[in-house]
Amino acid sequence: MKNWRYIVYGIIIALAVSFPFYTGLYLRQVAITILIYMGLALSWDMLLRSGQLSFGTAGFFGLGAYTAVLLQLGTGAHPIIGIILGGAVAFIVALGLGFAVLRLRGMYFAIVTLALASIFMLIVKNIPSLTGGPAGRMLPSVVFGGDASKMYWLALAVVLITIAASEAFQRTRIYFALTSIRDNELVAKSSGVDVFRYLVFAFSVTAALQGIIGGTYAQIYGFVSPEETFNVNFLLLPLAMALLGGIYSTAGPIVGALVLGALGEYLKLQIPYGHRLVYGVIIIVVMLFMSRGIVGTIRALTRRGQDRKAVP
């Protein structure tokens, strides 16, 4: 049974890696977009597992994107180094801020993260000499000379790293720490969980992932601007995807990103303006009727089926 599971994972990964060989340019580009959002959705969910709702994904995403682009423009470093440093900058900023903001809970934490994302955007906007101000900066060429297949593999690699991190969060003692903090912080604390340290750890790791994803995005599209890079899309879509797929799991955000990414691409063609309406509706509907998401609901259904089998 267990081996069977790994074979399925292997097939999925093989399919994902070989994806550019049997698809056209358009599909490859759609896949890149979906992968970017998938990584964000997953990293957002990873922090949510500790019970902390962050609205700051777009902020760390933008921080990584700007770092990657400015580093390359300034020093001519290799794009991959820029991406890694984008993650590092997001990590350090989140670590510093985390010590302060992670004393907050609930709505206070959520609003402050939203405010932080706005601060990043405004600071970037107000230093034109470095960041190009409202117009942003452009790379002379995109990564890999615009080869869509290689860009796809880059995005896939980043998502695989995120998945690995998410699984590490699920399979090690981090899982028990975060889950106990989410369920009851006081109990977690009295059971010897260093709540604050785990929260800072989860916050900075997810920020680093968001920074890496942002750097990748900037390298793939070759430009950064305050309005585009800190766009609400990079908050709204990952949230909708993770919620639709099912929160508190690795599979949920992945499934949600695939479903919503494909649907979103279709909607963008159908209603160019206001297709984001659908994402908002999905968030509301999931919160009202299906708070476990697709994966959670399927799991609950199959579990119920097993229970029924167990009863003679």
Partner 1 sequence: MESATRFKWKYVLLPLLIVGVAVVLGVWKPYALIQGLQRGGLYALIALPMALILGIVGIINLAHGEFMMLGAYFAYWLSVHTGIDPLVAMIPAFLAFFIIGALTYLVTIKPVLKAPELNQLLLTFGLAMVLTEFANLMWTSQSRKLPLRYVYSSASIGSLTFGTFGFTYLLGAVVVLIALLWFLRYTRTGQAALAVGQNPRGAKLVGIDVNRTYLLIFSLSIAMVAAIGGLFLTGHSIFPGVGAPYTMKSFCLIAMAGVGNLPGILWMGLGLGTAEAFVSSFQGYGGWSDVVFFALLIAVIMAKSYRRHTA
Is residue 123 part of the contact set for partner 1 (CB under 8 A)? yes
Contact of 147 with 154, CB cutoff 8 Å: no
Cα Rg of the chain, angstroms: 20
To partner 1, the closest distance from the beta carbon of 244 in angstroms equals 11
Could you tell me which stretch among 10-18, 71-79, 115-123, 215-223 binds partner 1 (CB under 8 A)? 115-123
To partner 1, the closest distance from the beta carbon of 63 in angstroms equals 15
Sequence-ordered alpha helix ranges (H) in the chain: 2-17, 25-48, 57-75, 79-101, 106-125, 128-131, 148-171, 173-183, 185-190, 195-221, 226-229, 233-245, 251-270, 276-289, 293-310
Tell me the longest C-alpha to C-alpha distance in the chain.
74
Is residue 48 part of the contact set for partner 1 (CB under 8 A)? yes
Could you say which of 27, 80, 95, 114 contacts partner 1 (CB under 8 A)? Answer: 114
State the residue for tokens 């990964």: 13
Considering the complex, state which of residue 21 and residue 273 has its C-beta at the smaller distance from partner 1: 273
Size of the site for partner 1 (CB under 8 A): 43
End-to-end CA distance of the chain: 23
Nearest Cα residue to 92 out of 204, 240, 257: 204
Considering the complex, state which of residue 74 and residue 134 has its C-beta at the smaller distance from partner 1: 134
Cα torsion 140, 63, 269, 139 to 10°: value is 0
Is residue 130 part of the contact set for partner 1 (CB under 8 A)? no
| Binding map of partner 1 across residues 260-289, x = CB under 8 A, - = no contact | -----------x-xxxxx-xxxxxx--xx-
Q: Which of residues 63-102 bind partner 1 (CB under 8 A)?
A: 100-101
Task: Report the interface residues with partner 1, using CB under 8 A.
Answer: 48, 51, 53, 55, 100-101, 103-104, 106-108, 110-112, 114-116, 118-119, 122-123, 125-126, 232, 236, 239-240, 243, 271, 273-277, 279-284, 287-288, 291
